[in-house]
Amino acid sequence: MYLIALIFPGISFLIRGHIFTGIFCVLLQFTIIGWFPASIWALFSLNNARSEKRHQKIVALNKNIANETSKENFKKSIPDSEKNDEISKLRQEIEDLKNNQIKNIQPSFPKEQNKKIPLPSLDITNEIILPKNIQTPPLPKEQLESKQIQTFFSEIPNLKGTFELEKNKNFDTLYQFEICENEGLFEFIGNNQIEMVINNHYNVLDNCCVYTAFLTNAKSIKTIKKGKVVKTEDNKWKTVEKALIEFIV
């Protein structure tokens, strides 16, 4: 996308829905002097659009954090004494119901039912012989190929450390995944956005990574031990083991 903005700035604006701006840049391309300002304009516009998209994701994550915090505070506001009183009352009601049912039950079986009923004899002379050395057929070639490791990419995880994977890597990619069937490993690869990652580490790193020391002047981040993810029912990937990372100055 950046290459298109540099070479064909007008097309870059048209692709992103800026019709009038795109037409104006196309007119500038017809002049040698206007081509360079149009390219600079397109690059800055594209960069601002990506930054705005990333900012909206961070704002949405912060709202989810605030909502979950308010829910937890509401649960904590209920005193434990009231919970225990309600539980004890329910247990007492259950015990009373059981006692009333036991008292109301009176056996009134006729004498004839007390007689023993002879069971029919079973003929077990015909034994069932199972075949020995049963071998399972080999898996077809398609299933064997499906078990191969595949590479995927993702951006910022959600509050529960869950990712939405993509096959293609882009400028906003932060994590790389090696997936085999319903589980896989992941590592951090977003050093091209190290400043944004450090400023928003509570959204980008804390939900899926652990580290011994946090350095605000770090130049890059190195993955010491890869994290582990598993596939959920809604086709997302949840972190079950966080990755160990180190800040490099």
Q: Which residue, 31, 46, 66, sits at the end of a domain?
A: 66
For the chain, how many residues are written?
249
Residue 133 lies in a domain: no
Mean pLDDT (the chain, rounded): 76
Q: Which of 28, 45, 66 is the last residue of a domain?
A: 66
Regarding predicted confidence, which is higher, 207 or 132?
A: 207
Q: Please tell me the total count of domains within the chain.
A: 2
Please answer whether residues 47 and 55 qualify as being in contact, where contact means their C-beta atoms are separated by less than 8 angstroms. no
Residue 219 within a domain? yes
Q: Using the predicted structure, report yes or no on whether residue 131 has a pLDDT greater than 80.
A: no
Given a cut of 50, whether residue 12 has pLDDT beyond it is yes
97 lies in a domain?
Answer: no
Decide if 20 is inside a domain.
Answer: yes
Q: Are residues 151 and 243 in the same domain?
A: yes
Residue 154, in any domain of the structure? yes
Q: Is residue 228 part of a domain?
A: yes
- pLDDT for the residue numbered 241: 92
pLDDT at 58: 85
pLDDT band at residue 124 using 50, 70 and 90 as cut-offs:
very low
pLDDT for the residue numbered 54:
80
- Say whether both 150 and 62 belong to one domain: no
Percent of the chain with pLDDT over 70: 70
Residue 127: the pLDDT is: 45
- Does residue 102 fall inside a structural domain? no
Instruction: Categorize the per-residue pLDDT at 146 as very low, low, confident or very high, splitting at 50, 70 and 90.
Output: low
Q: Find the domain containing 202 and state its range.
A: 143-248
pLDDT tens by residue, 63-121 = 778 777 776 666 665 556 666 777 888 888 888 877 776 665 555 545 444 455 555 55
Q: What is the pLDDT of residue 10?
A: 67
User: Of all residues in the chain, what percent carry a pLDDT higher than 90?
Assistant: 18
Q: Is residue 125 part of a domain?
A: no
Any idea which of 16-20, 60-64, 117-121 has the lowest mean pLDDT? 117-121
CA distance 191 to 155: 12
Boundary-marking domain end, from 66, 101, 121: 66
pLDDT of residue 225: 93
Question: Which pLDDT value is given to residue 6?
Answer: 65
Which residues lie below 8 Å from residue 104, measured CB to CB, with a gap of 6+? none
Same domain flag for 244 and 147: yes
Confidence of residue 153 (pLDDT cuts 50, 70, 90): very high
Q: Residues 156, 174: contact at Cβ < 8 Å?
A: yes
Q: Do 150 and 244 fall into the same domain?
A: yes
Do 60 and 150 lie in one domain? The reply is: no
pLDDT digits (tens, 9 = 90+) for 194-236: 888 889 888 888 889 999 888 889 899 999 999 999 999 888 8
CA distance to 45, 54, 105, 173, 220, per residue, from 50 (Å): 9, 6, 74, 12, 21
- Token duo for residue 94: 């259950």
| Pair (58, 149) in one structural domain | no
